[in-house]
Structure 1
């Protein structure tokens, strides 16, 4: 009877183990860290939804941003500047949350402008597809990690792909591509950021330290946001 109980308890522990070889105490701490990160990420997504909705539904805000390209560019580039203080002060409360909030609001405004210039049906389709893809990839990564799979090898590949995407996007500013090329660019971007969700989720499970909860939420937030914008770009080009 005692032997059966021991085996059963061990099985229950192993069922909740994030990856092979992780001790019970460390596994519990890791799950707590993951819940904290996803809690912050959920707050970011909620804030993005609210700010984007205001931008879309309250015309003065949308008109102000669309009528002032310089102001819109400011909000587009400010998040890149905020990445530095967020990284430096990621362990200093409440500065880390203040910078994270500013970072999220700036990106949300640009997302709101993109949604305001797109048919509502297409925005909804992009939102549903993004949710489905992100949920599936996250579930797969947890499942694969539990079975000992590792995705750290994706790091150099994805970094190179991201640089190519950024350079291509920069070139498009001066030499606009045709609608087909834009759709292909959006499709490739969606693939890259889908892979980033797997890579960063794997890092969340295994590599981020417990003090890097802000940085972990930022990476996942950027993955989701860029995936949504990439899908939105493809659907918009397909519709037109």
Structure 2
């Protein structure tokens, strides 16, 4: 009976939300505040990497030091993510590791933007904003009517594996601009699906102490959509 009970909160009735709607909405707001702060930090750091001439010249020079720094920046988010996920429910160390992870990802985003023109970056950012906002509104609207998107999990996991294999093939056997554009478009579609899936989990499934896990999922979805759109537009 509780499973099918409607819960009203701020105009939202979701049959899956059986706990206090006030607590659930507080949790959702907390996650979106964290994600917003992550995105602001990413914009600040990535803009610095892109706009400061000395930093830009250092990485574009492709010297051994620049290549070593590039590899370190790419690997750093993975290294930080391991203890962050292990300690994700321990406050305040989880927030400290989350901030460090965000900074590492921000540098990676900045490096990913170096080979793109400013107009293309702005266009990709605007398209990302529209896509994320539209899919978020749609997911809340669907949740209000009792729709469930948990079935997307296995399909999205399989799609990620395919993208990884495709990306590996692209590195070993480059297929030119067409292949890169196709990869960017497909990646954008896959991570758009993740926005729906992770927002659905935020509304219905994450417990109150999983705010770091929920924030990481949404943040990475948004970053991956941006980078996928940027890749497609750049080509």
Q: TM-score, normalised by structure 1?
A: 0.89
Match of 2:196 in 1: 198
> Which of the residues 84, 107, 110 maps onto 2:108?
110
Shift of 1:21: 5.7
Gap change, CA 1:12 and 1:196, over 3 Å in 2: closer
Q: Is 2:85 the partner of 1:92?
A: no
Go from structure 1 to structure 2 and tell me whether the alpha carbon gap of 1:53 and 1:15 turns closer, same or farther (over 3 Å shift).
Answer: closer
Asked if the contact 2:7/2:17 (under 8 Å) is kept, the reply is: no
**Which is richer in helix?**
1
TM-fit CA distance, 1:186: 0.6
Q: Is the 8 A contact 2:59 2:70 kept in 1?
A: yes
Relative to structure 1, the CA distance from residue 14 to residue 222 in structure 2 (aligned partners, 3 Å threshold; closer, same or farther) is closer
Distance 1:71 1:12, change over 3 A: closer
Deviations 1:65-92 (A, max 9, x none): 3431222122112212222111111122
RMSD: 1.7
Q: Could you say what secondary structure the match of 1:190 adopts? A: helix
SS in 1 for 2:206: coil
Instruction: Report SS of the residue matched to 2:20.
Output: helix
State the Cα distance separating 1:144 from its structure 2 match: 0.1
Q: Name which of structure 1's ranges 168-177 and 134-143 shifts more when overlaid on structure 2.
A: 168-177
Between the two proteins, the alignment pairs up a number of residues equal to: 226
CA distance in 2, matches of 1:108, 1:143: 31
Counterpart for residue 12 of structure 2: 17
Structure 1: tracts of 5 or more residues without a match: 1-10
Give the stretch that moved more between structures: 93-102 or 123-132: 93-102
Partner residue in 2 for 1:40: 34
- Please name the residue that 2:44 is paired with: 50
Structure 1 stretches of at least 4 aligned residues deviating more than 4 Å after TM superposition: none
TM-fit CA distance, 1:196:
0.4
Task: Write the distance in 1 (CA, Å) between the matches of 2:128 and 2:225.
Answer: 7
Residue in 1 aligned with 2:3?
A: none
1:14/1:211 Cα in 2 relative to 1: closer, same or farther (>3 Å)? closer
Q: Give the alignment partner of residue 157 of structure 2, picking from 159, 171, 174.
A: 159
Q: Rate the CA distance shift 1:34–1:15 in 2: closer, same or farther, 3 A.
A: closer
Q: Which runs of 5+ in 2 are unaligned?
A: 1-5
> What residue is the counterpart of 1:233 in the other structure?
231
Show the counterpart of 1:6: none
Query: TM-score scaled to structure 2, two decimals?
Result: 0.91
Deviation of the 1:124 alpha carbon? 0.8
Q: Which shifted more, 110-119 or 135-144?
A: 110-119
Conserved 8 A contact 2:156-2:190: yes
Indicate the residue corresponding to 2:174 in structure 1: 176
- Which has the higher Rg, Structure 1 or Structure 2? 1
